[in-house]
Amino acid sequence: MHYQDKYFDQDKNTILRAAQGFVEPQLLKRWVEVAYKTYMLLENPMGLEDAFIKKLKSIKEYDYSFLQELYAILSAIYRFERGNNQLEIIWDGRSHYEVYAENWSETFDEWVKHFCTKPEVYRSILKACILRQGMNNKFLYYAIRRVILSHFDLKISRNKMLKTA
């Protein structure tokens, strides 16, 4: 049996979900970059270059797959918060798709900057995406997920998102 989408083709949530999927690769890259810069700013404010920092700087290829499920959670939270499904009138000639992608990207950037101020977030991203240490990434994933859900006072239960407060 095939999964059937519950929304209409021109429903706001359908367009928003498509826009979020389109910008996902660049936003995941940005998330890792913010985590890296935050780490350097908070953990190495003097810019000293020891062996670890040299190793960190030498890595140019990152693994973004660790963040994909967390991105999906943030995307769902965004759709949950902007819960109406009415398309608005856009007067500047852009499509709904473009406007929603831009609005989502701006909100995502704000959220990521906030979350990356937490050591459990930026350190987990460094370990899983940049260093790719053979660690238990589920532990790192749940640390970040806990920060995200507690920030929004949400709980995820069997594919349902519930407000806790």
Q: Cα–Cα–Cα angle for 162, 80, 11, nearest 5°? A: 140
CB atoms within 10 A of CB 32: 22
pLDDT tens digits, one per residue of 106-149 = 999 999 999 999 999 999 999 999 888 766 789 999 999 999 99
Measure the CA–CA gap between 161 and 76, rounded to whole angstroms: 9
Assign 62 a pLDDT band (cuts: 50, 70, 90): very high
Tell me how long the chain is.
Answer: 165
Residue with tokens 């910008």: 23
Measure the CA–CA gap between 34 and 122, rounded to whole angstroms: 8
Higher-pLDDT residue of 115 and 94 is 115
Q: Cα–Cα–Cα angle for 102, 108, 110, nearest 5°? A: 110
Quick one: pLDDT at residue 86?
63
Burial category of 118 from C-beta neighbours within 10 Å (exposed 0-12, middle 13-18, buried 19 and up): middle
E strands of the chain, at which residues?
Answer: 154-157, 160-163
Quick one: pLDDT at residue 141?
94
Average pLDDT, stretch 99-108?
Answer: 93
